[in-house]
């Protein structure tokens, strides 16, 4: 199966990293992969555009099937390889306990999109907004919005003992959200102000699927300080 799959990805991108982790967790090692450079604009190359007309990474093919959306690829892999590797979403029918767990996983998975978006809004403000449209007040507001969001996740982790986002077991919530948390820490998030997120980050760092897919560019360059004060 794995040899019929190809993933085009970029180092340090949470959407790419999610799919890399899902592939490891579902024991799909041996897939074809192409590590591309965002800096060189390789995500806009013809090779990528032919698979993903949005010119974004990840791009993912499985035989003739194309599924580029990172959430979609992770859900697809769980559906196709339900009983292989880590069970990322339990079955619901019949068990009320599992139903409560699925609901919690889904809640965190999709709240993860909000966390990611609020983080990206801060990163992109300086990069994308033209000089003549920039306002310190707008940038400050984006940082405050991210702070509020991060405090919510501190609260989530306090409420679900077990060390994973949905309790005692690694789940789809961790596949989806961990890469964003790792990027937040990499960008200077204070371990003192966000102790539960820092603890979660350290716990997951040692997991084989996470170690095997750690962004190669992060090993070569130091972290940054953009989020030091939030």
* Residue numbers at the binding site for a second copy (CB under 8 A): 53-54, 62, 64-73, 75-76, 79-80, 82, 89, 91-93, 99-100, 102-103, 106-107, 109-111, 113, 117, 129-130, 132-133, 135, 137-138, 152
Looking at beta carbons only, is 135 or 211 nearer to a second copy?
135
**At its nearest, how many Å lie between a second copy and the CB of residue 168?**
18
The minimum distance between CB 85 and a second copy, in angstroms, equals 14
Would you say 155 or 216 has its CB closer to a second copy? 155
Specify the residue, 177 or 185, whose C-beta has the smaller distance to a second copy.
177
CB of 140 to a second copy, least distance (A): 11
Q: Report phi then psi at 214, rounded to 5.
A: -55, 135
What is the nearest approach in angstroms of a second copy to the Cβ of residue 108? 8
Beta carbon nearer to a second copy, 42 or 149: 149
Smallest distance, a second copy to C-beta of residue 177, A: 13
| Smallest separation, CB 115 to a second copy (Å) | 12
How near is the Cβ of 28 to a second copy at its closest, in Å? Answer: 14
Cα distance between residue 85 and residue 223, in whole Å: 32
Q: Which of 110, 112, 111, 138 is nearest to 124 (CA)?
A: 138
Nearer Cβ to a second copy, position 1 or 35?
1
Nearer to a second copy, 13 or 186 (CB): 13
Query: Between β-strands 5-10 and 32-36, what pairing exists: parallel, antiparallel or unpaired?
Result: parallel
DSSP characters over the chain: -GGGEEEEEETT-HHHHHHHHHHHHTT-TT-EEEEE-TTTTGGGSHHHHHH-TT--S-EEEETTEE---HHHHHHHHHHHTTTSSS-SS---TT-HHHHHHHHHHHHHHHHHHHHHHHHHHHHHHHHHS-GGG--HHHHHHHHHHHHHHHHHHHHHHHHSTTSBTTBSS--HHHHHHHHHHHHHHHTT--TTT-HHHHHHHHHHHTSHHHHTT--HHHHHS----TTTT-
Between 59 and 185, CB nearer to a second copy = 59
């Amino acid at each position: 199966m794995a040899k019929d799959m190809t993933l085009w990805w970029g180092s340090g991108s949470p959407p790419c990293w999610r799919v890399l982790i899902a592939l490891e967790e579902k024991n799909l090692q041996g897939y074809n992969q192409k590590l591309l450079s965002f800096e060189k604009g390789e995500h806009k190359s013809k090779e990528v555009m032919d698979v993903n007309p949005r010119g974004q990474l990840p791009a993912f093919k499985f035989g003739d099937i194309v599924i580029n959306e990172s959430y979609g690829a992770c859900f697809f892999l769980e559906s196709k390889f339900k009983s292989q590797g880590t069970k990322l979403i339990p079955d619901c029918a019949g068990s009320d306990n599992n139903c409560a767990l699925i609901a919690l996983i889904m809640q965190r998975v999709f709240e993860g999109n909000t966390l990611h978006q609020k983080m990206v809004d801060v990163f992109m403000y300086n990069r994308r907004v033209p000089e003549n449209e920039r306002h310190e007040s707008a940038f400050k507001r984006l940082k405050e919005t991210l702070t509020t969001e991060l405090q919510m996740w501190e609260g989530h982790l306090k409420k679900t003992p077990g060390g994973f986002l949905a309790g005692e077991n690694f789940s789809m919530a961790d596949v989806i959200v961990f890469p964003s948390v790792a990027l937040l820490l990499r960008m200077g998030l204070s371990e003192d102000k966000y102790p539960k997120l820092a603890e979660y980050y350290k716990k997951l760092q040692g997991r084989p699927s996470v170690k095997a897919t750690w962004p190669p560019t992060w090993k070569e360059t130091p972290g940054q300080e953009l989020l030091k004060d939030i």
